[in-house]
Amino acid sequence: MSRVKEGDIGAFEAIVERYKGMAYSLSYSMLRSREDAEEAAQDTFIKLFRSQQRFDSQRSLEPWLMRIAGNTCRDLLRRRRAARLPLVSSVDHEHLAQRVADASSFRREWTEATSQAVRHEVDKLSEKLRLPLLLKYLSGSTNRQIAQTLGISVSNVKVRLARAKDILQSRLERVMEN
């Protein structure tokens, strides 16, 4: 970012190339739409470029960039009045019962249904709990990076992660019982 501040456009292109996947992944996990995620990722880098003079070179770029991406997604959700992310449809139990004879088909259906149930329950978490969870397990961020990204303490990150996992476990146990 120091080179970008000095007018080196090539350095900015390198930053975009390095972090575009991460910005897109976070955006997609929040917005659940490919088009919206692409727009949010592009807006993230525009905002990064426009705010280059405010960047503190004593800090790491990644948490700052992820914070911009998260804020961009929240802004997009607010602008579009999307109070709720799209939910994944429930499992068609009759369809599964018809395919039990084919074990590999059943296993594939079961894996897909489980994956959908997990995504559905993650989507239902509050943003306060969902974001640390996605940053940890989707982006592979450390607790310290998550704390920097969200502007909270590391202990708060740990509490939110534990709370999110507890809620998911209890909700998924109920889903799997049905």
Please answer whether residues 158 and 169 qualify as being in contact, where contact means their C-beta atoms are separated by less than 8 angstroms.
no
CATH fold, domain 2-79, is: Rna Polymerase Sigma Factor; Chain: A (1.10.1740)
| pLDDT at residue 20 in the model | 95
Question: In the numeric block, which tokens belong to residue 164?
Answer: 């999110």
Please answer whether residues 132 and 144 qualify as being in contact, where contact means their C-beta atoms are separated by less than 8 angstroms.
no
| pLDDT at residue 87 in the model | 45
3-state secondary structure of 64: helix
Work out the average pLDDT over 63-89.
73
| pLDDT at residue 100 in the model | 47
State how far the Cα of 46 lies from the Cα of 43, in Å rounded to an integer.
5
Question: In the numeric block, which tokens belong to residue 76?
Answer: 């997009």
Nearest to 146 by CA among 128, 168, 171: 128
CATH fold, domain 125-177, is: Arc Repressor Mutant, subunit A (1.10.10)
Please answer whether residues 149 and 66 qualify as being in contact, where contact means their C-beta atoms are separated by less than 8 angstroms.
yes
Which residue has better confidence, 95 or 8? Answer: 8
| pLDDT at residue 117 in the model | 76
| pLDDT at residue 84 in the model | 44
Mean pLDDT for the chain overall:
82
Question: In the numeric block, which tokens belong to residue 54?
Answer: 């405010």
H, E, C per residue of 154-175? HHHHHHHHHHHHHHHHHHHHHH
Which residue has better confidence, 173 or 23? Answer: 23
Work out the average pLDDT over 131-144.
86
H, E, C per residue of 115-128? HHHHHHHHHHCCHH
Domain ranges of the chain: 2-79, 125-177
Q: Residue 105 pLDDT more than 60?
A: no
State how far the Cα of 127 lies from the Cα of 125, in Å rounded to an integer.
6
State how far the Cα of 38 lies from the Cα of 34, in Å rounded to an integer.
6
